[in-house]
């Protein structure tokens, strides 16, 4: 065995011994399970459970990265695993849930809208992964896939909660699914919230606003969540319009 082969074997042994970090990847696995559970529940026509599972996946996805940073257990494996989990939970799952709920009866148009959403999520995740080192941390380019998933799942949850007839809202479901898929791959900028420093003091009114938000959420979770993510989805257009006005000013 020559020296080069010995170095390769030694490198493989070090990688094998290093293993992977357990804690952040547990959260990622839980998010992946929630996305898979949403697909299974949609196939069983339990759409409320499916929508809630996608929101649970969203919460877990937000925790895994923060846990990794807090415990200093970031790794290349964790980043790749998180991206694959996101593709299931926020790409395939929402598309299949809304397809089973409202788009299935629309024939080719239905599954094409679902595919546009899945393709948009895949492209959004690929672009995010390739721009990690150069992107402005304050903003996302395109609607983040968890927010797009929340937009679609939130509409399913609202429709089911209010007992809306699918035949009456199938075109609205089609439009929302298509819109979410296309906005993910747009160049619109969305505030990321990554620059928020939780260690700094904040005004009293901000705490009061957070308390009010929790109160509204407990009053009507599907409506409040859906309305919140609709507002966030359109915030990108507002930010772009504001930036265009700023550039025109002398």
Q: Who has greater pLDDT, 58 or 192?
A: 58
Q: State the pLDDT confidence band at 134, using cuts at 50, 70 and 90.
A: low
Residue where the block lists tokens 């788009």: 103
Q: Which pLDDT score is estimated for 15?
A: 43
pLDDT at 13: 43
> How far is the CA of 226 from the CAs of 148, 151, 170, 201, 217, in angstroms?
11, 6, 17, 30, 11
Rounded Cα distance, 5 and 3, in Å: 6
pLDDT at 5: 52
| Cα(150)–Cα(222) distance, integer angstroms | 10
Q: What is the CATH number of domain 3-248?
A: 1.20.120.1760
Residues 9-36: tens digit of each pLDDT: 444 444 444 556 777 788 999 999 999 9
Confidence class for position 58, pLDDT limits 50, 70, 90: very high
List 190's β-bridge partners, or say none.
140
Written in H, E and C, the secondary structure of the chain is CCHHHHHHHHHHHHHHHHCCCHHHHHHHHHHHHHHHHHHHHHHCCCHHHHHHHHHHHHHHHHHHHHHHHHCCCCCHHHHHHHHHHHHHHHHHHHHHHHHHHHHHHHCHHHHHHHHHHHHHHHHHHHHHHHCCCCCCCCEEECCCHHHHHHHHHHHHHHHHHCCCCHHHHHHHHHHHHHHHHHHHCCCCEEECCCCCCCCCCCCHHHHHHHHHHHHHHHHCHHHHHHHHHHHHHHHHHHHHHHHHHHHHCC
- pLDDT tens for 178-227 read 999 999 999 998 988 766 665 666 676 777 777 887 788 888 899 999 99
pLDDT at 150: 96
Residue whose pair of structure tokens reads 């969203």 in the numeric block:
58
Give the pLDDT confidence of 75-118 residue by residue, as tens digits.
Answer: 788 888 999 999 999 999 999 999 999 999 899 999 999 999 99
Given a contact cutoff of 8 angstroms between Cβ atoms, the answer to whether 83 and 129 are in contact is: yes
What would the mean pLDDT of 125-133 be, rounded to a whole number? 84
Are 148 and 94 within 8 A, CB to CB?
A: yes
Residue tagged 């393709």 (tokens): 119
User: Could you read off the pLDDT of 60-80 as tens digits, one per residue?
Assistant: 998 877 777 777 777 788 888
Per-residue pLDDT for 157 more than 70?
A: yes
Residue 8: strand pairing partners: none
Q: Which two tokens stand for residue 239?
A: 């930010």
CA nearest neighbour of 123 among 96, 102, 148: 148
Task: Please indicate whether residue 138 or residue 152 has the higher confidence score (pLDDT).
Answer: 152
Domain boundaries, the chain: 3-248
User: Between residues 40 and 210, which one has the greater pLDDT?
Assistant: 40
For residues 145-176, b (16+ Cβ closer than 10 Å) or e, as one string? bbbbbbbbbbbbbbbbbeeeeeeebbeebbeb
Cα R_g (the chain), whole angstroms: 21
The predicted pLDDT at position 198 comes to: 58
User: What average pLDDT does range 130-142 have in this prediction?
Assistant: 78
């Amino acid at each position: 065995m020559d020296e080069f082969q010995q170095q390769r074997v030694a490198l493989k042994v070090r990688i094998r011994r290093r293993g992977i970090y357990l804690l952040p990847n547990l959260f990622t696995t839980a998010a992946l399970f929630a996305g898979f559970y949403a697909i299974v529940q949609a196939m069983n026509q339990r759409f409320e459970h499916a929508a809630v599972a996608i929101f649970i996946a969203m919460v877990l996805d937000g925790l895994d990265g923060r846990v990794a940073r807090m415990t200093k257990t970031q790794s290349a494996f964790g980043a790749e695993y998180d991206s694959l989990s996101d593709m299931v939970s926020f790409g395939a799952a929402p598309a299949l849930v809304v397809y089973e709920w409202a788009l299935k009866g629309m024939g080719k148009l239905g599954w094409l809208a679902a595919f546009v959403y899945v393709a948009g999520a895949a492209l959004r995740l690929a672009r995010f992964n390739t721009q990690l080192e150069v992107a402005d941390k304050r903003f996302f380019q395109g609607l983040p896939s968890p927010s797009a998933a929340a937009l679609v799942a939130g509409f399913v949850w609202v429709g089911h909660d209010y007992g809306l007839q699918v035949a009456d809202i199938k075109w609205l479901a089609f439009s929302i699914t298509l819109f979410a898929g296309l906005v993910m791959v747009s160049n619109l900028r969305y505030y990321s919230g990554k620059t928020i420093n939780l260690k700094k003091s904040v005004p009293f009114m901000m705490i009061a606003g957070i308390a009010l938000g929790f109160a509204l959420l407990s009053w009507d979770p599907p409506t409040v969540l859906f309305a919140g993510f609709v507002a966030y989805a359109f915030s990108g257009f507002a930010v772009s319009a504001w930036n265009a006005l700023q550039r025109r000013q002398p």
